[in-house]
Amino acid sequence: MTPTSLSTPALLIEDERFKRNVARMNRQLDRLGVPLRPHLKTVKNIELARRMMADHATGATVSTLAEADYFFAHGIDDLLYAVGIAPGKLAEAAHRIANGMQLSLILDHPDTARAVAQAATEHETDFQVLLEIDADGHRAGFRPDDPSLIEAARILHGGGATAAGVMVHAGGSYGCRDRDCLVRMARQECDVAVAAARELRGAGFGAPVVSVGSTPTALFAEDLTGVTEVRAGVYAFMDLVMTGLGVCDIDDIAISVLTEVIGHRKLEGQAIIDAGWMSLSRDRGTANQAIDRGYGVVCDEIGRLLSPEVIVQATNQEHGILARRDGESLDLGQLPIGRRLRVLPNHACATAGQFETMWLIGADGQAIERLERCRGW
């Protein structure tokens, strides 16, 4: 099959770029001497997950229990559920652990620790818990010197659960604009994680796991002494946000959405495609970067940029509006009705999450394989 024969919109993954991106991360972590626990929320597919884990990982990271079930069913049993555990999900987690899943949880509040401790007693389950640490004020987590960090560990221990260590996600790295900032953020992420683990150990807890990671910090870290594993996921596909951060080049982006021109807006000098926010997502992650790329950059059918200026400027549910960033009119003669294009997305995870299937594409543009994606929470 070729992209010409696929119904649009369709999710495409370029095999060679995927391989190159995975190899780059593996080389980096080989150099640093730290194993990878890849985050599989981006690929949501066992074939691609196995390729990410081939030589460098024994476990994986997930963001939903549905992902945990899917990957466990395919033989990956060591899973970190890297979203603060909702107390209402503890019975479900205990059931999975009883059935053989090595499922680790995270939390960042003593009240959640109390809920976990209570569930550990009720279900006779030794929950393995990583305490989430805040490296940058981005989202969630204990500060390393917060007394509630030790309090939470003690509460867990009292209920028969285990404070197995710490985890940090330096989401603030997505606000960086140059290499020096990414290097500093990677250093900060590591230092905060190691400091928090030191606090736990000083209070009598083993805390063997020191887990850090985001794609930007993983690729720009210079020293991870004290870290036991790195989590990252979007690196396998890359996207325009990563390009805007200087993490990758546009030619490294493996993911795109195949679409077709379905109309013209002659007065405005714009074209309409059959890929709206239901396929591209509403993510506008490049809006605050040096180059605002709208809802995506437009390529021809084989993946060559039409122009750095041609973007998806606006979206409706099933319609995308193509325009030039500089305000000039598009050459609509080059965009006839029925022409097929590809859109490189802002956020690989968000765009891929719109689809139930994806197509692996070879360097020659041939569709190699149809891949299923797991869905749900």
DSSP code per residue over 241-304:
HHHHHTSS-GGG--EEEEEEEEEEETTTTEEEES--HHHH-S--TTTTSSS--TT-EEEETTS-
- At 62 the pLDDT is 98
With a cut of 80, say whether residue 349 has pLDDT above it: yes
- At 2 the pLDDT is 63
364 pLDDT tier (thresholds 50, 70, 90): confident
pLDDT digits (tens, 9 = 90+) for 244-282: 999 999 999 999 999 999 999 999 999 999 999 999 999
Nearest CA to 4 among 372, 339, 370? 339
b/e sequence 5-35, b meaning 16+ C-beta within 10 Å: ebebbbbbbbbebbeebbebbbebbeebebe
The CA–CA distances, whole Å, from 282 to 102, 122, 351 equal 34, 42, 9
Q: Cα-flanking dihedrals φ and ψ of residue 375, to 5°? A: -135, 165
At how many degrees (to 10) do helices 46-53 and 15-32 cross? Answer: 30
Q: 37-231 falls under which CATH superfamily?
A: Alanine racemase (3.20.20.10)
Task: Determine which of 72-81, 166-175, 196-205 has the lowest per-residue pLDDT on average.
Answer: 166-175
- At 104 the pLDDT is 98
Region 212-237: what's the mean pLDDT? Answer: 97
Q: Which amino acid is at 38?
A: P
Region 283-288: what's the mean pLDDT? Answer: 95
- At 3 the pLDDT is 62
Q: Which amino acid is at 207?
A: A
Q: Report CA torsion sign: 290, 10, 236, 71.
A: positive
Output the average pLDDT for the chain: 96
pLDDT digits (tens, 9 = 90+) for 124-167: 999 999 999 999 888 889 999 999 999 999 999 999 999 999 99
- Asked if residue 206 lies in contact with residue 172, where contact means CB atoms within 8 angstroms, the answer is no
- At 139 the pLDDT is 86
- At 1 the pLDDT is 60
With a cut of 90, say whether residue 89 has pLDDT above it: yes
Distance CA(328)–CA(306), nearest Å, equals 14
- At 137 the pLDDT is 85
Sheet with 209-212, strands from edge to edge, namely 60-62, 78-84, 102-107, 128-133, 162-168, 209-212, 229-230
**Residue 296, Cβ density class (10 Å: 0-12 exposed, 13-18 middle, ≥19 buried):** buried
- Is-above-0.75 flag for pTM? yes
With a cut of 80, say whether residue 74 has pLDDT above it: yes
- At 31 the pLDDT is 97
pLDDT digits (tens, 9 = 90+) for 4-31: 689 999 999 999 999 999 999 999 999 9
Task: Determine which of 179-183, 309-313, 367-371 has the lowest per-residue pLDDT on average.
Answer: 367-371
Retrieve residue 242's tokens: 């990563």
Q: Cα-flanking dihedrals φ and ψ of residue 308, to 5°? A: -60, -20
Give the contacts of 104 (CB within 8 A, at least 6 positions apart). Answer: 79, 80, 81, 128, 129, 130, 164, 209
- Asked if residue 230 lies in contact with residue 169, where contact means CB atoms within 8 angstroms, the answer is no
With a cut of 90, say whether residue 204 has pLDDT above it: yes
57 pLDDT tier (thresholds 50, 70, 90): confident
Nearest CA to 244 among 287, 210, 207? 287
CATH 2.30.29.30 fits 248-372, yes or no: no
- Asked if residue 276 lies in contact with residue 229, where contact means CB atoms within 8 angstroms, the answer is no
Task: Determine which of 56-60, 99-103, 250-254, 259-263 has the lowest per-residue pLDDT on average.
Answer: 56-60
* 291 or 365, greater pLDDT: 291
The CA–CA distances, whole Å, from 369 to 11, 352, 366 equal 12, 16, 9
Give the chain's end-to-end CA distance (angstroms, integer): 32
365 pLDDT tier (thresholds 50, 70, 90): confident
Per-domain boundaries in the chain: 37-231, 248-372
Region 79-95: what's the mean pLDDT? Answer: 98
Region 197-215: what's the mean pLDDT? Answer: 97
Q: Around 349, how many Cα atoms within 13 Å sit in the side-chain half-sphere?
A: 14
- Beta-carbon neighbour count of residue 40 at 10 Å? 26
